[in-house]
């Protein structure tokens, strides 16, 4: 199911070649956000509904994530913006950053990055 979500995100956002997806490296902040999300979706959707099939449950969870959690729900850690609005704002800010004398902004050398899934 996690891989399906990743594939869906890639298909809907059409990222540039070379995208690096950060995998869980044991960062407690990453883990706490996932645990908070799990708690929220269980309380708002999973514990309140009985589905006839696994497919119905998967579709309902996808609708919750794509129709409410990402575009609508305000996140206090993001200045009360939705995930989509926060991402849009981050892209706008990064596009206004000036280039350096060395050329465009550069990413950290691959050898120094944390383990990731290259797509």
Q: Which tokens sit at 64?
A: 């919750």
Cα dihedral value 109, 114, 115, 118, nearest 10: -50
- Tell me if the pTM is above 0.85: no
Question: Looking at the DSSP assignment, which residues form a beta bridge with residue 103?
Answer: 100
Q: Once rounded to an integer, what is the mean pLDDT over residues 58-84?
A: 91
φ and ψ at residue 24, rounded to 5 degrees:
-65, 125
Burial (0-12, 13-18, 19+ Cβ within 10 Å), 69: buried
- Residue 35, pLDDT > 60, answer yes
Share of the chain above pLDDT 90, in %: 31
Share of the chain above pLDDT 70, in %: 74
């Amino acid at each position: 199911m996690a891989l399906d979500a990743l594939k869906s995100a890639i298909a809907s956002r059409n990222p540039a070649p070379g995208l690096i997806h950060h995998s869980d490296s044991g960062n407690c902040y990453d883990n706490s956000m996932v645990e908070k999300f799990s708690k929220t979706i269980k309380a708002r959707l999973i514990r309140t509904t009985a589905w006839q099939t696994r497919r119905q449950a998967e579709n309902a969870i996808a609708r919750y994530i794509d129709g409410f959690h990402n575009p609508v729900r305000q996140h206090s850690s993001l200045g009360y913006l939705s995930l989509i609005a926060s991402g849009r704002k981050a892209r706008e800010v990064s596009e206004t950053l000036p280039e350096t004398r060395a050329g465009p902004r550069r990413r950290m050398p691959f050898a120094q990055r944390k383990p990731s899934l290259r797509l």
